[in-house]
Amino acid sequence: MSYNRIAVYGHRGWASSAIVNALISSSAPIKVLYRPGSDVSSLPSGVSKVEVDVENRQQLIDALRDIDIVISLVGHEGVERQHAFIKAMPNTDVKLFVPSELGMRAHDEQGRRVPLMKAKEGVQQVAKAAGIRTTAILVGCLIEPAFAGILGVDYLGNRIIFTGDKFKATGQEIFSALEKKYGTSPQKFTHSLEKVENEIQACIKVGNRPTLAWWCRKAWGNGTSVKSVGEDIWEVEGYKKTNITELVVDGKLESYKDLPPPLVSLLNDTFH
């Protein structure tokens, strides 16, 4: 079987490491590009690894010369670095660029003003303007960060925020699962859509970090979060779906990465 030659940028993150491991297991030819000083000791010895300063254009071009597909799995802090790939790709034989989309995607004008989502959309617009074939894989809401407080569910603290009149997407089911998990009712808070709207506008105005959390909570609470995965939805053969009970009550929910203390503090301040 013939495989496309794949370069991956971003291999150490909570989600990206799992994706890279899956790609390696697929037997496709993988080359991991990593920043100077980045730890690659977790990668199998047989995997091609290339240290590259992406801001060094020629160095990046050389690293991409034998590549068909570039997959970016960078986290929030690396989104802007993807522009370096866009500048280098026209000088290579790369056929497809897959920019990082690890989380909910903006589906309204307000969401596109959220700094992180604005930056991600900017990368894709610049790539398309440069004539680079681009595919965005929309994963939607990842449950582990959602339950780490970002979407108003604090799994470890047994707390939940209902946004609006009702938490449309599985809200009561999550509440009941937490209650069964801990043997006591979760601490429950309710935020009106007006309050959340005001918080979003205030955060956007000053560039505050919880902007994304507030916007995602609004989208989840009013039922529009489903729009963030688009309409071209694929069913993965052999993939076993799970449910809230299995994740929360039966303990199948994986541990999420440690959030930066300042962000933890900001998120905790929203539970009131």
| Identity at 135, one-letter amino acid code | T
Spatial distance between the Cα atoms of 74 and 40, rounded to a whole number of angstroms: 15
Token digits for 29? Answer: 């030819």
| pLDDT tens per residue, range 40-74 | 999 999 999 999 999 999 999 999 999 999 999 99
% pLDDT > 90, the chain: 68
Residue type, 271: F
Interstrand relation of 159-163 and 153-154 (parallel, antiparallel or unpaired):
antiparallel
User: pLDDT per residue over 97-154, tens digit each?
Assistant: 999 998 888 889 999 999 999 999 999 999 999 999 999 998 888 889 999 999 999 9
Q: What are residue 81's phi and psi, to 5 degrees? A: -65, -15
Query: What is the biggest distance separating any 2 CA atoms in the chain, rounded to whole angstroms?
Result: 60
Angle at 120 between CA 116 and CA 121, to 5 degrees: 115
Which residue reads 């960078």 in tokens?
A: 74
- What would the two tokens of residue 186 be? 């979760």
Classified as helix, coil or strand, 154 is strand
Q: In this predicted model, what pLDDT tens digit does every residue of 152-165 receive, in sequence order?
A: 999 999 999 998 86
Cα–Cα distances (Å) from 167 to 61, 190, 223, 229, in that order, read: 48, 9, 8, 19
Amino acid at position 163, single letter:
T
Residue 187 CA to residue 178 CA, distance in Å, equals 10
Q: What is the mean predicted confidence (pLDDT) over 229-236?
A: 83
**183 pLDDT exceeds 60?**
yes
